[in-house]
């Protein structure tokens, strides 16, 4: 059985551990590897290596650090196909989605190639008599990332690239469900010329998470996962004196105005609601048609489009999505579907009971469509995180606007319309962090920033872009005066606000 070990100081740790986790193949329900679940010994070794390596890495000028990022980019592009196969084999998403996972992470690596420009501080000449004021951005020291199973390449790259390019050492604790690609990425950073100890990977469960949150040498933690755990990570990390950004769950809505192009909407919904088996925090699991006529027209078009979706193993080039990640998660999704029915939702398309011939033990679910879902239903209020689309009908624009605005989650939202005024009004007023206008999954590009509101995001600073740079650095402000050496006191130090 293949064993997935920690990556410490550029190589496998070789630490003895009786605790192991099973890494399954979601396509057939067979265990394909086991991952070492580490504890304090693994983290202490990683922290010691990071402490030894980080000062030298931070002392390297930003342009040379950027050159390492250029090489990382080239190596990821070189190994893209290999990484996609590894990723899909453990996660279950189809190869096309796996490539997209890697490429969206690569965009942040590309952004970091230009980080020397963003690291420049500000300068004010003559802020007072003979006084200059300037600022500089400096690394925090050691940062850590705790990442989820659903994007095992993209999210680690979002965190690691920004932290490392800014001059920090970085310790990653990826999901134990699909840990191979994060380890491979750490190896590629070392191959690119990153000093050993600057990027390391430790595996574990809650024990490792708590050790990271409590460790006094780790200055900042970035987390992506469910909202309850995000709140826990944020609270415990802040209590330990750390800077924390913790991204949580979502229940993203798609508002469909009567004038929308419904053919395009249906095409977008099939990808946004069911792509990657719905296991995305930016999926679109709720559609809100405005007006009964819009709802009926949309429903009539959705049913045959959903029936035409192809579900297959992750390596099937014709499959539009593959299995969910574990048997436990599949059972959870099925329970939520039954809860929705019990609450009074209309079951239009039932994805339960789907079996893929030759892969009957795989964790497959067909697409499910539920209509006449009401805001008070628990199935609407909570994140299902599977291939389930719920229709919540709204009589007018104001009601549609209020649904995502009042929901506990505020990650993403989209409006589909040809009316520029309606789109502009919606974007300005909706209480959600990321908004799409005729864009179903509004994940910003790498030179902007990613982050939700309410229970979708804890902490004040978003991921990547300039916000990410602010998170992984601290701003030092310097007020300087150089006396002329006359010695008569005529150039006495005067604070700018003093007369």
Catalytic residue IDs: 281
Pairing of strands 253-256, 412-416: parallel
- d(CA 253, CA 442) in angstroms, rounded, equals 11
Strand 131-139 vs strand 473-481: parallel, antiparallel, or unpaired? antiparallel
Kind plus residue range of the DSSP H or E element containing 230: helix 227-239
Task: Measure CA 299 to chain center.
Answer: 31
Residues in the chain: 499
Compute the distance between CA of residue 200 and CA of residue 202 in angstroms, rounded to an integer. Answer: 7
Tokens of 115: 């980080």
**Residue ranges in 215-279 assigned as alpha helix (H):** 227-239, 262-274
Asked if 113 contacts 66 with a C-beta cutoff of 8 angstroms, the reply is yes
Distance CA 192, CA 451 (A): 29
> To the nearest 10°, the Cα dihedral for 440, 336, 223, 450?
10
Residue 448 tokens, joined: 């902007």
CB 388 within 8 A of CB 341: no
Q: Which of 299, 358, 254 is nearest to 28 (CA)?
A: 358
What 8-state DSSP symbol labels residue 311? B
**63 to 60, 114, 139, 215: CA distances (angstroms):** 8, 8, 15, 31
Alpha helices in 350-455, H assignment, sequence order: 378-381, 397-406, 420-429
- N-terminal to C-terminal alpha carbon distance within the chain: 76
For residues 139 and 170, give the distance between their C-alpha atoms in angstroms, rounded to a whole number.
11
């Amino acid at each position: 059985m293949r064993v997935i070990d920690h990556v410490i100081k550029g190589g496998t740790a070789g630490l003895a551990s009786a605790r192991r986790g099973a890494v399954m193949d979601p396509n057939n329900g067979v265990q394909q590897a086991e991952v070492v679940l580490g504890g304090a010994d693994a983290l202490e070794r990683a922290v010691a290596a990071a402490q030894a390596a980080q000062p030298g890495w931070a002392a390297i000028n930003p342009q040379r650090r950027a050159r390492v990022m250029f090489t990382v980019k080239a190596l990821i592009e070189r190994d893209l196909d290999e990484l996609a196969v590894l990723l899909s084999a453990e996660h279950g998403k189809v190869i096309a989605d796996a490539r997209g996972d890697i490429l969206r992470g690569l965009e942040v690596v590309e952004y970091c190639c230009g980080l020397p420009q963003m690291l420049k501080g500000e300068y004010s000449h003559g802020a007072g008599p003979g006084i200059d004021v300037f600022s500089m951005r400096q690394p925090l020291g050691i940062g850590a990332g705790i990442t989820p199973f659903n994007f095992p390449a993209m999210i680690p790259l979002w965190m690691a690239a920004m932290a490392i390019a800014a001059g920090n050492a970085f310790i990653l604790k990826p999901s134990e469900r699909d840990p191979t690609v994060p380890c491979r990425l750490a190896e590629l950073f070392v191959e690119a010329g990153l000093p050993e100890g600057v990027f390391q990977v430790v595996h574990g469960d809650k024990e490792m998470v708590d050790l990271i949150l409590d460790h006094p040498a780790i200055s900042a933690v970035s987390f992506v996962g469910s909202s309850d755990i995000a709140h826990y990570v944020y609270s415990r990390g802040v209590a330990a004196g750390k800077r924390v950004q913790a991204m949580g769950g979502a229940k993203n809505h798609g508002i469909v105005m009567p004038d929308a192009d419904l053919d395009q909407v249906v095409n977008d919904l099939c990808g946004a609601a069911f792509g990657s088996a719905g296991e995305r925090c930016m999926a679109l699991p709720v559609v809100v048609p405005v007006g009964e006529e819009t709802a009926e027209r949309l429903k009539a078009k959705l049913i045959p489009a959903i029936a035409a979706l192809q579900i297959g193993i992750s390596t099937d080039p014709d499959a539009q999505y593959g299995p969910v990640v574990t048997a436990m998660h599949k059972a959870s999704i099925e329970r939520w579907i039954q809860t929705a029915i019990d609450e009074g939702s209309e079951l239009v398309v039932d994805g339960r009971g789907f079996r893929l011939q030759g892969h009957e033990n795989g964790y497959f679910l067909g697409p499910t469509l539920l209509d006449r879902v009401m805001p008070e239903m628990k199935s609407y209020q909570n994140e299902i995180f599977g291939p389930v689309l719920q229709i919540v009908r709204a009589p007018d624009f104001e009601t549609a606007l209020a649904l995502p605005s009042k929901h506990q989650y505020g990650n993403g939202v989209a409006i589909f319309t040809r009316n520029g005024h309606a789109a502009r009004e919606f974007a300005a007023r909706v209480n959600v962090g990321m908004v799409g206008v005729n864009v179903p999954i509004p994940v910003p590009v790498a030179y902007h920033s990613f982050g939700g509101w309410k229970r979708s995001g804890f902490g004040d600073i978003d991921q990547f872009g300039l916000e990410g740079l602010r998170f992984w650095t601290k701003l030092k402000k310097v007020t300087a005066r150089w006396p002329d050496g006359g010695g008569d006191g005529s150039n006495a130090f005067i604070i700018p606000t003093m007369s």
